[in-house]
């Protein structure tokens, strides 16, 4: 069924070709129904499937993982799994910048 109005805000819906960004990388251009008011984008089921396949092929899928905090001397350590390390191209001995964005989020900035 075609949507005429946005479920979120009631704004007008227009069909557009949009650049799909995932983890800051473009996965390509896809047709979407876009709200002109709140910019909410809705993709067809078939398009969503295609996007997921591309993300998987590029190794961008399943990069969320739970990690436990370990005690290392007087400090604490978090292990970053290989998948995420590979994605970020982390190398042993390289320096990264750590800073809390707020009390719930830690940023690891790679130079």
Contact residues toward Zn ion (CB under 5 A) are 6, 8-9, 11, 35, 37-38, 40
Q: Rounded to the nearest whole angstrom, what is the least distance from the CB of residue 97 to Zn ion in the complex? A: 37
* CA pair distance 73, 1, nearest whole angstrom: 60
Q: How many Cα atoms occupy the beta-carbon half-sphere of 91 within 13 Å?
A: 3
* Minimum CB distance to Zn ion, residue 16 (Å): 13
Instruction: State which residue, 32 or 35, has the beta carbon closest to Zn ion.
Output: 35
CB of 32 to Zn ion, least distance (A): 13
Question: By C-beta, is 6 or 32 nearer to Zn ion?
Answer: 6
- CA-based end-to-end distance of the chain: 47
Is there a contact between 83 and 62 (Cβ–Cβ < 8 Å)?
A: yes
- Pair 75, 83: CB distance under 8 Å: no
Beta carbons of 26 and 20 less than 8 angstroms apart: yes
Of 38 and 96, nearer to Zn ion (C-beta) is: 38
CB-nearer residue toward Zn ion: 2 or 95: 2
Shortest approach of Zn ion to residue 49 CB, angstroms?
Answer: 24
């Amino acid at each position: 069924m075609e949507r005429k109005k946005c479920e979120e805000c009631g704004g007008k819906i227009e069909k557009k070709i949009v650049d799909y960004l995932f983890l800051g990388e473009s996965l390509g251009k896809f047709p979407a129904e876009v709200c002109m008011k709140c910019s909410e984008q809705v993709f067809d089921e078939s398009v969503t499937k295609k996007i997921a396949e591309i993300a998987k092929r590029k190794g961008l899928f399943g990069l969320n993982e739970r990690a436990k905090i370990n005690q290392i001397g007087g400090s604490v350590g978090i292990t970053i799994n290989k998948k995420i390390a590979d994605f970020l191209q982390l190398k042993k001995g390289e320096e990264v910048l750590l800073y809390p964005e707020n009390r719930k989020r830690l940023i690891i900035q790679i130079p």
